[in-house]
Amino acid sequence: MKSALLRVAVCLALVAGIGAADVQAAGDRPYHFGFKKSKNGAPASIDEEGFKPVIDKHGAIFRRDGTGKTLYLTFDNGYENGYTAKILDVLKEKKVPAVFFVTGHYIEDQPELLKRMVSEGHIIGNHSWSHPDMTQISDDRIASELNRVKESVAALTGQQEMRYLRPPRGIFSERTLAVSGKLGYTNVFWSIAYVDWDTSKQRGKEYAYEKVISQLHPGAVILLHSVSKDNAEAMASIIDRARELGYEFKALDAPAS
């Protein structure tokens, strides 16, 4: 019941304050990120997506080329569902770095978990303060959303730099990439994902394990949601199996090898 109420509160907060005055010109075409999933270790692809030239132009990441059998683990944290601490325990035990993309709600609700993330060597990334569709708000509002997260995380954890942004809901445009780029951000999408965010449709740790392992490919950016019980329970097995297959987990800001 508590989780359901939290989700409602977050959803209300996410849509609050988006008015017609914020909406940009119709020519600012919005895109919803999507990709062709990896099969048999072949790289995931966005070659058939109409937004690929925009991604390439602005240096956004969806996978990392030239990194060998390297994996980059990322989590989206909009609200807490009781599983992030367990995930952090596994990452600490296995010595695996990750990026946690957080919202304003998460910062205000879970300060101790954010402190732990930084103290244990993880990166906190920007997922915006109120999780708006950034293609529907002004340049100034984008800057405000991102600056508020960065400043709050810095004050709370001591992490002074914030270089990575995951656009809420994977919605972006050339304008949003350009505006956030001027603020010093690299937009980070993903090349491994599955429907893990629906807490009412968890299917067990074996399902989570299979969904991730079946998509592994060199340079993959893995997107998971820490609200998923399945992810928390499968995390150790996913890491162990990936390593058995010759993969190495690295920090997103590690130099290519």
For position 217, which CATH number holds? 3.20.20.370
What is the per-residue pLDDT for 256? 63
Q: Is 139 noted as a catalytic residue in this protein?
A: no
- The per-residue pLDDT for range 95-152, each reduced to its tens digit, is 999 999 999 999 999 999 999 999 999 999 999 999 999 999 999 999 999 999 999 9
**Residue 237 and residue 205 in contact, taking contact as beta carbons nearer than 8 Å:** yes
d(CA 175, CA 205): 39
Tell me if 180 is assigned to some domain.
Answer: yes
Residue among 76, 133, 196, 230 flagged as catalytic: 76
What is the per-residue pLDDT for 67? 72
Low-confidence residues of the chain: pLDDT under 70: 1-27, 256-257
- Alpha-helical runs (H) found in 110-248: 111-119, 139-157, 174-182, 205-213, 229-244
Residue for token pair 């990026």: 99
- The per-residue pLDDT for range 75-93, each reduced to its tens digit, is 999 999 999 999 999 999 9
Q: Is 230 noted as a catalytic residue in this protein?
A: no
What is the per-residue pLDDT for 9? 41
Other CB atoms within 10 Å distance of the CB of residue 93: 11
Tell me if 148 is assigned to some domain.
Answer: yes
Tell me if 1 is assigned to some domain.
Answer: no
Tell me if 155 is assigned to some domain.
Answer: yes
Residue among 105, 131, 217, 225 flagged as catalytic: 225
What is the per-residue pLDDT for 23? 43
**Roughly what angle, to the nearest 10 degrees, separates helices 111-119 and 139-157?**
70
What is the per-residue pLDDT for 12? 38
What is the per-residue pLDDT for 2? 40
In total, how many domains does the chain have? 1
Which residues are CB-contacts of 183 (< 8 A; sequence separation ≥ 6)? 143, 146, 147
Tell me if 121 is assigned to some domain.
Answer: yes
Q: Which domain holds residue 115?
A: 32-249
d(CA 89, CA 79): 18
Tell me if 22 is assigned to some domain.
Answer: no
